[in-house]
């Protein structure tokens, strides 16, 4: 059932993004007087087709991994003399550039609209409060006070941990002062204080840690008692006799103070039989449990029992509902899109420089998993993911790689400057090089996907 859910959400997600991308090409082509022969969502055999009054065939195809808009073009077949004025290749170079650029641009515009809808509807988040710092970390050396809200990073307001993380991600690989503005949570009207953290070519392993943990920041979270809230059907916890509502008091000779302490003990006990003292109602019981052996992406072996904690509520002062008016939501959405575009381009460049590992490239499997997880987390999370993926698709297609929209724009720019098209031989060589480059990137991304599995 979970696999079916993931598959359906992935098809929906790709369908939305591909449709708006191809609609951009389609819409501008029509405005430029170009005859569109086919608008297809997906590749391969058509499952459903229909035609409009202008003779364009619309199709939904069997392989939902992309789409295309086929236009009348002398380079792809004979064109009747009376239709030459509608051929793509006969249009001025600026019009051809507009048609090609429209797809990625619409992806970026869609991100603004998606973020606007999210901010207009309201965003639920938690206040970015420092719960603890990791021993020996940059955060500890900067003497950052605990239970303090992070008001801004490098002068930019941060209303959530997501915004803090994004600002920190933009500093990966850099040197210089990182400025944090903090205010104690017990003094909401108190004076904010600035702290500087000295970064020296701040290299982090993004595959295994977030910028937050790399800096040494641990978000504040409410105390979670070691009470079982959910059990996995095939997990070791259920097989050992644990039930929802059981409170774990001891593991072997160690007292269990909270859920996180229980998790730590389980993780370090892979394949070891543990003695659990639990409280069930008014009685105490002892159960024997052997955590299952799991291997993390970084090769670390840890124990897993298939149990989740009983949910706890956050104090109201640590929760935040962010609502924006119409105009403010537009401004916020536009700025958020620009931030994500800048972060994406910066990440690509740092990957080229070797600052960020190519292990961070993700393929369709990771996209499917994240799409499913975001959809399960609610509409707000899914819309945010759609916007981010739309930005990624737009930026990727604008890269100056032949076979991508950006490659065509590169050729048309050269044509505009030279006054004549790039030779077919050069275009063919570029096409082959571009295909080889994309194939290599796809193989790396798929390899990373399988390694994460």
Distances (CA, A) of 251 to 228, 279, 349, 409: 14, 12, 48, 63
pTM: 0.81
CA distance 387 to 108: 8
Q: Tell which of 322, 353, 371 closes a domain.
A: 322
Distances (CA, A) of 2 to 7, 38, 379: 9, 35, 18
Q: Are residues 355 and 426 in the same domain?
A: yes
Q: Are residues 386 and 437 in the same domain?
A: yes
Distances (CA, A) of 51 to 38, 61, 132, 172: 9, 15, 61, 50
Give domain status of residue 50, yes or no.
no
Q: Tell which of 272, 295, 322 closes a domain.
A: 322
Q: How many domains does the chain have?
A: 3
Give domain status of residue 70, yes or no.
no
Q: Tell which of 276, 300, 322 closes a domain.
A: 322
The percent helix, strand, coil of the chain (3-state, each to 5) is 45, 25, 30
3-state secondary structure of 90: helix
Give domain status of residue 344, yes or no.
yes
Q: Are residues 215 and 234 in the same domain?
A: no
Domain of residue 290, residue span: 228-310
CA distance 376 to 267: 26
Q: Is 415 a catalytic residue?
A: no
Q: What is the CATH number of the domain that holds 177?
A: 2.30.42.10
Q: Are residues 173 and 142 in the same domain?
A: yes
Q: What is the DSSP letter of 313?
A: P
How buried is 327 (Cβ within 10 angstroms: 0-12 exposed, 13-18 middle, 19+ buried)? Answer: exposed
CA distance 453 to 450: 5
Name the nearest CA neighbour of 36 among 19, 49, 20, 52. Answer: 52
Q: Are residues 103 and 149 in the same domain?
A: no
Query: Could you list the pLDDT tens digit for every one of the 453 residues in the chain?
Result: 667 777 888 888 888 999 999 999 999 999 999 999 999 998 888 889 999 999 899 999 888 878 899 999 988 888 888 888 999 999 999 999 999 999 999 999 999 999 999 999 888 888 999 999 999 899 999 999 999 999 999 999 999 898 998 898 888 888 889 999 999 988 777 788 999 999 888 888 766 778 888 899 999 988 888 898 888 888 888 888 888 898 989 988 888 888 888 888 888 888 888 898 989 988 898 989 888 888 776 667 888 888 888 888 888 888 888 888 999 999 999 999 999 999 889 888 888 877 777 777 777 777 777 777 777 777 888 998 999 999 999 999 999 988 899 999 999 999 999 888 888 888 889 888 888 888 888 888 778 777 766
Contacts of 451 (CB under 8 A, 6+ apart): 297, 359
Give domain status of residue 4, yes or no.
no
Q: Are residues 195 and 235 in the same domain?
A: no
Give domain status of residue 41, yes or no.
no
404's enclosing H/E stretch is: none
Q: Are residues 264 and 330 in the same domain?
A: no
Q: Are residues 217 and 329 in the same domain?
A: no
At 341, give phi and psi (nearest 5°).
Answer: -65, -45
Active-site position among 22, 149, 163, 292: 22
CA distance 242 to 178: 47
């Amino acid at each position: 059932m979970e696999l079916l859910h993931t598959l359906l959400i992935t098809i929906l997600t790709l369908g939305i993004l591909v449709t708006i991308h191809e609609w951009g090409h389609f819409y501008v082509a029509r405005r430029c007087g170009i005859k569109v022969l086919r608008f297809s969502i997906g590749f391969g055999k058509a499952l459903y087709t229909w035609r409009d009054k202008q003779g364009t065939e619309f199709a939904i195809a069997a392989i939902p991994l992309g789409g295309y808009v086929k236009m009348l073009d002398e380079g792809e077949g004979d064109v009747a003399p009376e239709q030459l004025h509608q051929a793509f290749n006969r249009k001025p170079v600026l019009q051809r550039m507009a048609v090609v650029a429209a797809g990625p641009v619409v992806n970026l515009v869609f991100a603004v609209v998606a973020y606007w809808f999210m901010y207009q509807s309201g965003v639920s988040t938690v206040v970015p409060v420092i719960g603890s710092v990791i021993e020996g970390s940059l955060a500890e050396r900067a003497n950052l006070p605990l239970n303090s809200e992070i008001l801004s990073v490098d002068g930019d307001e941060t209303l959530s941990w997501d915004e803090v993380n994004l600002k920190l991600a933009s500093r990966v690989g850099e040197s210089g002062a990182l400025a944090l503005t903090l205010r104690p949570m017990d003094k909401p009207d108190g004076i904010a204080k600035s702290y500087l953290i000295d970064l020296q070519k701040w290299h982090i392993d993004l595959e295994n840690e977030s910028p937050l943990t790399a800096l040494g920041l641990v978000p504040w979270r409410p105390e979670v008692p070691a009470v079982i809230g959910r059990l996995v059907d095939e997990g070791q916890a259920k097989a050992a006799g644990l039930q929802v509502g059981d409170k774990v008091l001891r593991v072997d000779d160690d007292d269990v103070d909270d859920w996180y302490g229980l998790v730590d003990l389980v993780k370090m006990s892979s394949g070891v039989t543990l003695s659990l003292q639990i409280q069930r109602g008014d009685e105490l019981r002892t159960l024997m449990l052997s955590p299952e052996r799991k291997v993390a992406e970084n090769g670390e072996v840890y124990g897993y029992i298939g149990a989740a904690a009983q949910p706890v509520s956050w104090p109201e002062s640590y929760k935040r509902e962010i609502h924006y008016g119409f105009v403010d939501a537009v401004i916020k959405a536009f700025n958020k899109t620009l931030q994500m575009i800048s972060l994406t381009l910066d990440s690509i460049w740092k990957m080229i420089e070797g600052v960020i590992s190519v292990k961070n490239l993700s393929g369709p499997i990771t996209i499917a998993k994240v799409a499913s997880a975001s959809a399960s987390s609610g509409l707000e999370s899914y819309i945010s993911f759609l916007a981010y993926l739309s930005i990624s698709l737009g930026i990727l297609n604008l890269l100056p790689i032949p076979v991508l929209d950006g490659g065509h724009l590169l050729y048309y720019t050269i044509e505009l400057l030279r006054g004549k098209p790039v030779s077919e031989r050069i275009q063919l060589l570029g096409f082959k090089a571009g295909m080889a480059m994309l194939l290599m990137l796809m193989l790396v991304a798929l390899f990373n996907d399988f390694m994460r599995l």
